[in-house]
């Protein structure tokens, strides 16, 4: 079976690599020419992905020829969509591809929508297709950034939303050849489309819930760590996503929560719970900023280290990163920032800037950039401060601490848990830790005589 994948972002490339590794011939394309990113050096970090791509090159082909793409029997849509000013997703590219396929094929085909889309998108595409022998399946991706390969090979569930039962069965057979799913759920397309929004909205709500409980612990002298343990021991609740801190970020959770709210409001459903979860999450960076300010009183010329600048561990993604937001807020208050991140380095920030503004430039144009005022977003602001010598990146976690006045844990990398507190204390000029990811136990911080701020902890 020949397979085409439209969209070469994290989802499309990961899926293509796993399919090719299983022996399928895979054609990949995108509206931009990303051949070098797929077959050369990846522009993003994803655990084990480079190895899979390297080992499956003979079964992967990049093409800009749309005729080749539509010749495949099975076509996956793994597209990311821009957000309109009103908050809706712009699905123009998806619909254009559907029209192109209808106009340029006579054979029967299966179209699989992996992208997260509004409820009813499958039906809209089916209306474009009309009476052609083309089945449309909604099969949302549930991949975690940094663990996409593992989630593809051993998924917790595969959701197949198909009106054409025979096509749904074919997709099930394909997944059984490339993965070991714990469960495959066949349903209607609308339920499949909503399932991704529901899952991410629930996770976001759980994060906001534990942060609300953490705030209550601060006011009642209750122990947030014991409270988390008690909650997690209840099998109906589970222990995951019960770490109070800087809150959720990235691309998926914020987008999917907003999309779920929009889907409800279009149908006169208020979605009050999700709006509250959003509001709580957006307040958390300020809580941590106040905790830091209360410790130092005056922030100007204080030198602080961030361990982790991406929105979570196992990724280099800065999208909606709470750590980046906090770093920029501190920079605006005169703090000098030092950063150590296991995979994100200064050069990647420059590349993100260059790709968006001056793609032809070898390096960011400092003089031109410094004329941009005000910066458009946190990334622009961070680049400005790197140029001004107010933000520095380091290649070693321990070396980044030398003579700094405090440590902020911004991402939950496992590496940070293994570094002895005694050594951290020796390196810092002021033994102050801000634990933005609940990585460290309050008892250990007290035993080593650290000053600290943790959401929900009583110092």
- 391 classed as catalytic: no
Mean pLDDT, the chain, integer: 91
Q: Helix 252-266 and helix 189-220: axis angle, to 10°?
A: 110
Residues 232-267 have pLDDT tens digits of 999 999 999 999 999 999 999 999 999 999 999 999
Based on C-alpha coordinates, what's the Rg of the chain? 24
Question: What is the share, in percent, of the chain residues with pLDDT greater than 70?
Answer: 91
**Residue 194 — pLDDT band, cuts 50, 70, 90?**
very high
25, pLDDT greater than 90: yes
448, pLDDT greater than 70: yes
Sign of CA dihedral 134, 140, 145, 149: negative
Whether omega for the bond prior to residue 374 falls within 30 degrees of 0, making it cis, is yes
> DSSP labels for 302-361?
-EEEEE--SSSTT----TT-HHHHHHHHHHHTT-EEEEE-SS--HHHHHHHHHHHH-TT-
Question: What is the share, in percent, of the chain residues with pLDDT greater than 90?
Answer: 77
Owner of token pair 């990647």? 348
Provide CB contacts within 8 A for 217, sequence distance 6+.
Answer: 223, 224, 227, 456, 457, 458
Residues 27-62 have pLDDT tens digits of 999 877 665 555 556 778 898 998 999 888 899 998
Tell me the domain boundaries of the chain: 2-187, 221-250+283-345+395-454
**Residue 389 — pLDDT band, cuts 50, 70, 90?**
confident
Q: Determine the Cα–Cα distance for residues 3 and 19; give it in Å rounded to an integer.
A: 9
- CA distances to 128, 394, 404, 424, 456 from 399, rounded to whole Å, are 58, 7, 10, 10, 29
Nearest to 243 by CA among 313, 294, 156, 154: 313
CATH class of the domain comprising 221-250+283-345+395-454: alpha beta
Q: What are phi and psi of 450, to 5 degrees?
A: -90, 145
Q: How confident is the model over 308-319, as a mean pLDDT?
A: 92
- Which entry of 78, 139, 217, 252 is annotated as an active-site residue? 252
CATH topology for the 2-187 domain: Rossmann fold (3.40.50)
**Residue 63 — pLDDT band, cuts 50, 70, 90?**
confident
The mean-pLDDT minimum among 65-69, 152-156, 342-346, 352-356 falls in: 352-356
Instruction: Give 289-296's long-range contacts (Cβ < 8 A, gap of 24+).
Output: 289/326, 289/329, 289/330, 291/434, 291/453, 292/330, 292/406, 292/408, 292/434, 292/453, 293/333, 294/453, 295/406, 295/432, 295/451, 295/453, 296/405, 296/406
Fold match flag (2-187 vs 221-250+283-345+395-454): yes
Joined together, the tokens standing for residue 142 give 């549930």
Residues 69-128 have pLDDT tens digits of 889 999 999 999 988 877 789 999 999 999 999 999 888 999 999 999 999 999 999 999
Q: How confident is the model over 380-401, as a mean pLDDT?
A: 88
Joined together, the tokens standing for residue 401 give 């601490």
């Amino acid at each position: 079976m020949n397979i085409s994948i439209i969209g070469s972002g994290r989802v499309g490339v990961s899926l293509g690599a796993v399919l090719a590794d299983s022996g399928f011939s895979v054609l990949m394309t995108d509206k931009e020419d990303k051949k070098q990113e797929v077959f050369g050096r990846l522009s993003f970090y994803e655990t084990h992905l480079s190895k899979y791509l390297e080992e499956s090159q003979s079964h992967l082909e990049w093409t800009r020829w749309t005729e080749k793409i539509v010749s495949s029997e099975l076509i996956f849509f793994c597209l990311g969509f821009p957000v309109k000013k009103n908050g809706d997703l712009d699905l123009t590219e998806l619909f254009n591809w559907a029209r192109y396929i209808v106009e340029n094929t006579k054979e029967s085909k299966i179209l699989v929508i992996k992208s997260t889309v509004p409820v009813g998108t499958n039906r809209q595409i089916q209306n474009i297709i009309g009476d052609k022998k083309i089945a449309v399946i909604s099969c949302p991706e549930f991949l975690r950034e940094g663990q996409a390969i593992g989630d593809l090979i051993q998924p917790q569930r595969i959701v197949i939303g198909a009106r054409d039962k025979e096509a749904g069965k074919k997709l099930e057979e394909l997944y059984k050849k490339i993965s070991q799913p714990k469960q495959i759920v066949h349903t209607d397309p609308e339920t499949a489309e909503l399932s991704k929004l529901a899952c991410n909205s629930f996770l976001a709500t759980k994060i906001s819930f534990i942060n609300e409980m953490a705030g209550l612990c601060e006011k009642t002298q209750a122990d947030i760590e014991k409270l988390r343990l008690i909650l997690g021991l209840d099998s109906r609740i589970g222990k995951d996503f019960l770490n109070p801190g800087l809150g959720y970020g990235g691309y998926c959770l914020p987008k999917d929560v907003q999309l779920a709210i929009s889907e409800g409001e279009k149908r006169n459903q208020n979605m009050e719970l999700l709006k509250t979860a959003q509001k709580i999450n957006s307040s958390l960076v300020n809580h941590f900023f106040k905790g830091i300010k209360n410790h130092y009183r005056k922030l100007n010329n204080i030198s602080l280290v961030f361990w982790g600048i991406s929105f979570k561990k196992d990724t280099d993604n800065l999208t909606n990163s709470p750590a980046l937001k906090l770093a920029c807020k501190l920079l605006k208050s005169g703090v000098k920032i030092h950063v150590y991140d296991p995979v994100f380095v200064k050069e990647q920030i420059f590349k993100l800037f260059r790709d968006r503004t001056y793609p032809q430039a070898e390096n960011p144009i400092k003089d031109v950039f410094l004329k941009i005022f005000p910066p458009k977003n946190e990334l622009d602001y961070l680049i400005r401060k790197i140029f001004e010598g107010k933000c520095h990146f380091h290649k070693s976690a321990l070396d980044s601490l030398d003579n700094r006045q405090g440590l902020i844990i911004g991402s939950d990398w496992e590496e940070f848990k293994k570094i002895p507190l005694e050594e951290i204390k020796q390196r810092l000029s002021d033994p102050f830790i801000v634990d933005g990811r609940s990585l460290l136990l309050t008892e250990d911080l007290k035993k080593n005589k650290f000053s600290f701020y943790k959401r929900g902890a009583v110092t």
